[in-house]
Structure 1
Amino acid sequence: MAVQLDARPPVTPATGNHSQSSGRLSRFDTRFSPYLYIAPFFLIFGVFGAYPLAYTFWVSLHDWDLLGSDHPFVGAENYTRLLADVDFWHALVNTLGIFVISTVPQLLAALWLANLLNRGLRARTGWRMAVLVPNVTSTAAVAIVFGVLFGREFGMINWLLDLIGMDAIEWKSNRIASWVAISAMVDWRWTGYNALILLAAMQAIPRDLYEAAAIDGASRARQFWSVTVPLLKPTIIFCTIIATIGGLQLFTEPRMFNSGTNPIRGGPLRESQTLTMYMFENAFSPHYNFGYGSAVAWLLFALIAIVAAVNVLILRRLGGGARPSARKGPTR
């Protein structure tokens, strides 16, 4: 009868304690290390994001004059006064108008441009880098150039309109025209940025889906609308939210566009004054009413949250989506 000898070394108490401590350390690392890795972000966000947001709400409940030392508590008086202010509603309409005119064409153009860059173009890397040039250009420089292009007397846009027999447009003193001019500036600057984000998502779509669609007889246009767009829905939602946040916080573009005529008021009759410009006007020069300006900031925050939520709900309800078929393997 053969006796099988155990070749493993005997476990000493020291070895056993070391194994147990290593196991506990491993479990601790697995359970808590992810929280330690993300803790710096939440710490910085709490100091520079959450705390200022809460403090701004506290300030909005006071009559907070930046030039005075006494800040009496007034409750919701700033908000009731704000909702009764005609200039606030005027700025709100301007903000929503510019947002709609700029965001919808911007996202559609970005989607078309991303699809074009996703094809087998020559010097694709150069073209992809070129679409990002407007985004890295100084906002002030872009606003000055567009202000000249949309000038009343010597602007190129009015010169082109004159060539086709149309009358010159008062781009800075006409409300709707100023919306269009500022929206063109925003679209020129941010379309390429969104196009690169959508392009990155397009390149992650499996090629076999397009091959299967081509075998089924789908044209390129049909493949784009039936395969590409549904699978880009999460990325489109992301771009929409980012465009919503940026579009409702416009400040530099309309201010620089009206640099010669009451810039902080958006023109002589507030033709293009946005909510951020209205907030700046009341919180700082010339009024220095920080409590009232904080109330404007909080209503703007609520507006951005509502519009972003509505956009997400609409996009989620639009159509289904092509999904890779999950093929089951043979059962054993």
Structure 2
Amino acid sequence: MATTLRKPAPAVTTPAAGKPRTGVRKYWHLYAAISPFYLLFLCFGLIPVGFSLYVSLHRWDGLGSMEWAGLSQYQYLLSDSDFWTAVGNTLVIWALATFPMIFLAMVTAVMLNSAVRFKNLYRFAYFLPNVTSVVAIAIIFGSVFSTNFGLVNALLQAVGLDQVAWLNTPWGIKTAIATLMTWQWTGYNAIIFLAGLQTIPGELYEAARMDGAGPVQTFFRITLPMMRPVLLFVLVVSTVTGLQSFSEPQVLLQTTSNDSTFAGGPGHAGQTMVLYFFQQTFDNNDFGYGAAVAWGVFLVVVLFSIINWRLVQRRGED
């Protein structure tokens, strides 16, 4: 008997109760939960940054009316010898502080990674300088590097060497500031390196020992290549923080707004870029040029961060 095919019955549709909510309307409560961060970032981040760019195009003493200056302040910045002196001082201090700090932090991390007892105590002790007030640290280091009663000169005299006027000579000032920054950030970066060391599989070290590799070969052939991303992070962060040093020379050299001509110590040897920005803005009440200096500092920091990132990445590719 032949069978007949029947058409499927049409689907019964019912009117929708309402248009379904999508996007912001559907997840409004989630956006509301994270909105405080973005509102605060907008008020205290983006708006001040945009306003500083606007101020840099004007002459303004902070109280009176603004006068349009265009790019003239940036043109003066390029020819400002004091600004370029501050750039040179900052780069020298950064180099004197960053490379010894990274070396000491790596050595400290390796020792902490191999320690068996009191690991948490060692980590706390090495991290403590980073959470200590920079002002307090600078005051202590000012006493340590004092010419007549400082601990460093006392040690030099104990071994038969002459005293050094650390805070009155250009290289002494830079060395003192760099030593302070090294002491402050070594423990922090050691903890970062330690976290990276603990992610390296132990099987790699066991295979290296079975192949007869010594500790030095193991470090340069396994540890250092595996730590390259962490090293890149530490180097970039150290560049950003080091090139923005302000509290260290400000407190160590006891510069105040009442003595702007002495900013950075004798010969302005310790005048960093941010300290120069502070002097121009708050000592000279030149907010327009101070904003231009701030953007100059930003460009220098970005440039050297990119250079360091590219150097480490290129070595990683090689």
TM-score bracket for the superposition, by shorter chain length: 0.7 to 0.9
| Corresponding position: 1:121 with 2:119 | no
Q: Which residue of 2 aligns with 1:71?
A: 66
Specify the alignment match of 1:303 in structure 2: 300
Would you say 1:50 and 2:41 are equivalent positions? no
CA contact (8 A) 1:173 1:271 kept: no
Normalising by structure 2, report the TM-score: 0.86
Per the alignment, residue 225 of structure 2 pairs with: 230
Give the 3-state SS of the residue equivalent to 1:259 in structure 2: coil
Consecutive unaligned residues of structure 2, counting only runs of 5 or more, are 1-11
Work out whether 1:59 is the aligned partner of 2:55. yes
Question: Where does residue 289 of structure 1 map in the other structure?
Answer: 286
Contact 1:241–1:308 (CA<8 Å) still a contact in 2?
A: yes
Flag the 1:28–1:75 CA change in 2: closer, same or farther, 3 A.
Answer: closer
Once the two structures are superposed, what CA deviation does each residue of 1:153-212 show, in whole Å capped at 9, x if it has no partner?
111111111222222111112111111111110111110001101111111111112122
Write the distance in 1 (CA, Å) between the matches of 2:255 and 2:72. 35
Where in structure 2 are the equivalents of 1:121-200 lying within 5 Å?
A: 121-200=116-195
2:251 alignment partner in structure 1: 256
Give RMSD over aligned pairs: 2.7
Do the aligned partners of residues 82 and 314 (structure 1) sit closer, same or farther apart at CA in structure 2, a change above 3 Å counting? same
Say which of 298, 306, 312 aligns to 1:315. Answer: 312
Q: Map 1:266-285 onto structure 2 (within 5 A).
A: 266-285=264-283
Percent identity of paired positions between Structure 1 and Structure 2: 37
Report how far residue 277 of structure 1 moved: 0.9
Cα drift, residue 276 of structure 1: 0.8
* Letter aligned with residue 278 of structure 1: Y
Q: Which amino acid aligns with 2:270?
A: S
Unaligned runs of 5+ in 1: 1-11, 322-332
- 1:152 is paired with a residue of what secondary structure? coil
- 1:151 match: secondary structure: coil
- State the alpha-carbon separation in 2 of the partners of residues 196 and 181 from structure 1: 24
- Letter of the 2:222 counterpart: V
Instruction: Tell me which residue corresponds to 2:99.
Output: 104
Is the contact between residue 277 and residue 294 of structure 2 (CA under 8 Å) also seen in structure 1?
Answer: yes
Q: Distance in 1 between matches of 2:197 and 2:131?
A: 23
- Larger mean CA deviation between 191-200 and 260-269 belongs to 260-269
| 1:113-172 deviation per Cα after TM superposition (whole angstroms, max 9, x unaligned) | 111101133211111111011112111111011001101111111111122222211111
Query: Following TM superposition, by how much is the alpha carbon of 1:85 offset from its aligned partner in structure 2, in angstroms?
Result: 2.0
Q: Amino acid of the residue matched to residue 280 of structure 1?
A: F
**TM-score normalised by the chain length of structure 1:** 0.83
Partner of 2:9 in structure 1? none
For the structure 1 residues 99 and 118, does the alpha-carbon distance in structure 2 shift closer, same or farther, using more than 3 Å as the test?
same
